[in-house]
């Protein structure tokens, strides 16, 4: 049996369901990665550069083991046609299936084409989540809308364990016939990485790095995760999202490593976060329209203000709210943002500025190294109060209170807003209150070095509630 392993966003050798199954059940395997030009941005966003940098690292990692990754360009259907024409002995196709959004549709179409037109036997695996979107249902068979009951069920179910990869076996099953190599697009992956992102991506790619990140997190932060995860200045979360997104680490590997540790509140809280990931995957799979539509009907008619200049101030971290600005600058500089801050900036954009959550979602899409449509859309609809299980529309985050609570000494703010780094009192959270004397002392001139707040939160809050209630009244 000769099998193709279609690699997509599972850039790892270890604990890869499709790869392990193909290796075990085939006489020969051929690893293939396909770039569909229709999916490529003309100017690569950080998100895209990161994705192809990870693909490239995987290719290099395989090459070190003398395993070849064939890189092809075109639609998957056309490329599988070419491959099977060049190698008629190919009989099977293995891949890890996408459960939601565009990927799901594409996978169904490609599998159908390979089965009916090319006569391949297809084997699809749910590899990306601990529990698939269809696995956890209410007693009446309906999907859950709310996280808490979903989690109560989730936590009781046995979790899949990691699958071992046999590199030796994979090496032994490399195809001897290298004919399709003429289809290989040498240099394609490199050309899809925007040079200007190179610096940001250094040290953030590869399977080995992902495993090391897991190990470091367990050693340094896991047991305190419950108390430290909300404090951005401690930087005590795992940073694994970036590797999960590209499949440089498997979710089973993470779960197993964490559960093997001594029991702690930190461990339990961390595992709950993994359940949020499955939950949002399920919500997106059940509601494919959620990428463009607010899920709650009563909030589908919000009269967003959508002011372009306000949006620009938010994007560039110039709102005059230090915690919002520090967070946005962290995103722009590093391609990652702490979860507490994602909630704060998303609330600020949708409520204080009344800008459509889809604008923010798109901006995060372009900037985040860990961009995942289910979690991102889920997070944005949570903050905008438009999701199935979201913050009530009238409970609006006060950015200053959030700042005082989660960054009490302004350590995080000072890290990303150097203009405010000399401030030694509580006004780090509200620099607009600095007296002339303090401005001199702390070397910051308001409106020159750092802007005054672009809105008055108290008024913006009332405005948001009114606009949300108007939308409610239309239903
Ligand atoms: P840790 O705190 O170490 O958590 C461990 C893992 O649990 C994460 O890697 C992630 O896979 C999962 N997780 C944690 N929190 C959540 C959550 N709220 N929802 C779903 N999964 C979670 N996460 C993404 O992976 N991609 C996104 O594009 C994304 N966009 C978001 C947008 C908004 C507006 C909000 C509020 C949240 C978003 N999240 C997203 C969720 C969360 O912020 C990130 O997963 C987390 O900050 C990643 O850092 P970490 O790996 O250090 O997390």
Query: For the chain, what is the mean pLDDT?
Result: 95
Cα dist from 26 to 21, 67, 92, 120, 123, whole Å: 8, 16, 9, 14, 12
**323 burial type by CB count under 10 A (0-12 exposed, 13-18 middle, 19+ buried):** buried
Res 113: pLDDT: 96
State if residue 129 touches ligand 1 by the CB under 6 angstroms criterion. no
28-35 and 69-73 as β-strands: parallel, antiparallel, unpaired? Answer: parallel
In this prediction, residues 324-343 reach a mean pLDDT of 97
CA of 82 to the centre of ligand 1 (A): 39
Predicted local distance difference test score (pLDDT) of residue 178:
62
pTM beyond 0.95: the answer is yes
Calpha distance 34→377 (Å, rounded):
26
Taking the centre of ligand 1 as the mean of its atom positions, its distance from the CA of residue 241, in whole angstroms, is: 6
Do 47 and 370 form a contact (C-beta atoms < 8 A)? no
Q: Work out the pLDDT band at 1, boundaries 50, 70, 90.
A: very high
Task: Please identify every residue annotated as catalytic.
Answer: 273, 276, 304, 339, 357, 380
First to last CA, the chain: 58
Say if ligand 1 is within 6 A of residue 348 CB: no
Q: Are 130 and 252 in contact (CB under 8 A)?
A: yes
What distance in angstroms lies between residue 375's CA and the mean position of ligand 1's atoms?
A: 7
Residue 182 has pLDDT above 90, yes or no: no
- Give the separation between CA 23 and CA 31, rounded to whole angstroms: 10
Closest CA to 98 of 159, 8, 18, 207: 8
The average pLDDT across 358-373 equals: 96
179: pLDDT confidence band, cut at 50, 70 and 90?
Answer: low
Question: Considering only CA atoms, which residue is closest to atom 23 of ligand 1?
Answer: 375
pLDDT the model gives residue 177: 63
CA distance 255 to 298: 38
* Ligand 1, pocket-test mutation among 45, 273, 391, most atoms within 8 A of CB: 273
d(CA 393, CA 249): 36
Q: Are 374 and 241 in contact (CB under 8 A)?
A: no
Average pLDDT over residues 188-195: 93
- Tens-place pLDDT, residues 195-223: 988 888 888 999 999 999 999 999 999 99
pLDDT given at position 180: 64
With beta carbons less than 8 A apart as the criterion, state whether 200 and 53 touch. no
Residues whose CB is less than 8 angstroms from the CB of residue 458 and which lie 6 or more positions away in sequence, other chains included: none
């Amino acid at each position: 049996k000769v099998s193709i392993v279609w690699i997509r966003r599972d850039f790892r050798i270890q604990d890869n369901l499709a790869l392990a199954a193909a290796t075990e059940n085939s006489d020969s395997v051929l690893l293939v990665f396909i770039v569909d030009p229709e999916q490529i941005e003309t100017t690569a966003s950080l998100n895209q550069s990161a994705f192809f940098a990870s693909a490239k690292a995987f290719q290099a990692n395989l090459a070190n083991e003398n395993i070849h990754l064939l890189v092809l360009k075109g639609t998957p259907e056309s490329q599988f046609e070419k491959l099977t024409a060049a190698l008629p002995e190919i009989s099977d196709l293995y891949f890890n299936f996408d459960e939601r959004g565009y990927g799901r549709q594409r996978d169904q179409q490609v599998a159908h084409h390979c089965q009916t037109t090319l006569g391949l036997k297809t084997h699809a695996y749910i590899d990306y989540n601990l529990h698939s979107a269809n696995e956890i249902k209410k007693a009446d068979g309906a999907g859950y809308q709310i996280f808490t009951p979903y989690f109560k069920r989730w936590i009781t179910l046995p979790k899949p364990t990691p699958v071992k990869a046999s590199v030796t076996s994979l090496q032994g099953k490399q195809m001897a016939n290298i004919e399709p190599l003429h289809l290989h697009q040498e240099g394609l992956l490199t050309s899809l990485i925007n040079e200007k992102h190179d610096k940001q991506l250094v040290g953030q790619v590869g399977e080995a790095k992902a495993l090391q990140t897991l190990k470091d997190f367990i050693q340094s932060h896991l047991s305190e995760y419950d108390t430290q995860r909300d404090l951005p200045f401690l930087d005590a979360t795992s940073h694994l999202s970036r590797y999960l997104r590209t499949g440089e680490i498997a979710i089973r590997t993470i779960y197993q490593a964490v559960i093997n540790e001594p029991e702690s509140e930190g461990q339990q809280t961390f595992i709950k976060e993994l359940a949020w990931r499955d939950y949002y995957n399920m919500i997106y799979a059940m509601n494919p329209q959620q990428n463009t539509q607010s899920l709650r009907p009563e909030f589908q008619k919000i009269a967003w203000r959508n002011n372009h200049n306000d949006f620009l101030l938010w994007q560039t971290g110039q709102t005059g709210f230090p915690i919002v600005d520090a967070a946005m600058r962290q995103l722009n500089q590093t391609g990652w943002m702490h979860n507490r801050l994602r909630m704060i900036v998303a609330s600020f954009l949708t409520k204080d500025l009344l800008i459509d959550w889809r604008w923010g979602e798109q901006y995060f899409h372009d900037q985040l190294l860990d961009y995942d449509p289910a979690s991102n859309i889920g997070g944005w609809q949570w903050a905008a109060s438009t999701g199935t299980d979201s913050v009530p529309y009238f409970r609006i985050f006060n950015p200053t209170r959030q700042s005082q609570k989660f960054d009490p000494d302004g350590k995080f703010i000072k890290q990303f807003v150097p203009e405010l780094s000399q401030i030694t009192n509580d006004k780090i959270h509200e620099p607009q209150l600095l007296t002339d004397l303090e401005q001199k002392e702390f070397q910051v001139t308001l409106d020159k070095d750092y802007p005054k707040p672009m809105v008055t939160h108290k008024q913006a809050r009332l405005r948001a509630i009114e606009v949300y209630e108007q939308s409610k009244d239309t239903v």
